[in-house]
């Protein structure tokens, strides 16, 4: 059985993430979405909230699991008995950032082979950091995040409409 890990901070989950997760889930028997817990950062949403939102978004897909992890990605990959790490590429800048990361992960563990998935062009400008920036100015973020995340934001007073 082939297993891949799709790691990220997902703070918050964007429509671009959801597209990549769905496409990656068709390539592997099992896809584990790994939510990074970075204790050095204060996230917009807690680990539990990010995991809950991702579970709700992927509920219709039996081969997708959502878990959180702390520490090195390669250790999470080993724990999940995964064969691959999937990362999305939106821009050439993403590739410049991702390639050394993939090589560092490969040096740490040969099991952790990274596969890059080109993002669909309609999502190439969407990022979690852009969403956080737009929220700071109360700008419209519809289209940036899935409906589940918008609902969560309304319920938690992050957005008003």
Write the DSSP assignment of 22-82 as a string of letters. HHHHTTSSEEEEEEE--TTS--SS-HHHHHHHHHHHTTT-TTEEEEEE-S-HHHHHHHTT-
Q: By CB under 6 A, tell whether 72 contacts ligand PNS.
A: yes
């999940």: which residue's tokens? 80
Stretch that binds ligand PNS, among 21-29, 49-57, 99-107, 134-142 (CB under 6 A): 99-107
Stretch that binds ligand PNS, among 52-60, 97-105, 117-125, 147-155 (CB under 6 A): 97-105
Please answer whether residues 63 and 29 qualify as being in contact, where contact means their C-beta atoms are separated by less than 8 angstroms. yes
Q: By CB under 6 A, tell whether 120 contacts ligand PNS.
A: no
Q: Which of 25, 87, 90, 119 is catalytic?
A: 90
Q: Which of 41, 81, 107, 154 is catalytic?
A: 41
Three-state secondary structure call for residue 24? helix
| Contact pattern for ligand PNS over residues 16 through 35, marking x by CB under 6 A | --------------------
41 is catalytic: yes
Q: By CB under 6 A, tell whether 5 contacts ligand PNS.
A: no
Q: By CB under 6 A, tell whether 12 contacts ligand PNS.
A: no
156 is catalytic: no
Beta bridge partners of 67: 34
Q: Which of 30, 50, 87, 128 is catalytic?
A: 128
């Amino acid at each position: 059985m082939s297993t891949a890990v799709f790691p990220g901070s997902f703070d918050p989950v964007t429509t671009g993430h959801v597209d990549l997760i769905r496409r990656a889930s068709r390539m592997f028997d099992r896809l584990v979405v790994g939510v990074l817990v970075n204790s050095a950062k204060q996230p917009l949403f807690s680990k539990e909230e990010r995991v809950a939102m991702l579970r709700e978004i992927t509920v219709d897909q039996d081969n997708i699991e959502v878990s959180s992890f702390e520490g090195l990605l390669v250790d999470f990959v080993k724990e999940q008995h995964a064969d691959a790490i999937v990362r999305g590429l939106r821009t050439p800048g993403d590739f410049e950032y991702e390639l050394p990361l993939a090589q560092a992960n490969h040096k740490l563990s040969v099991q952790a082979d990274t596969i890059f998935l080109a993002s669909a062009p309609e999502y190439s400008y969407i990022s979690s950091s852009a969403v956080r920036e737009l929220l700071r100015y109360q700008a419209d973020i519809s289209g940036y995040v899935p409906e589940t995340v918008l609902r969560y934001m309304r319920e938690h007073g992050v957005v008003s409409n």
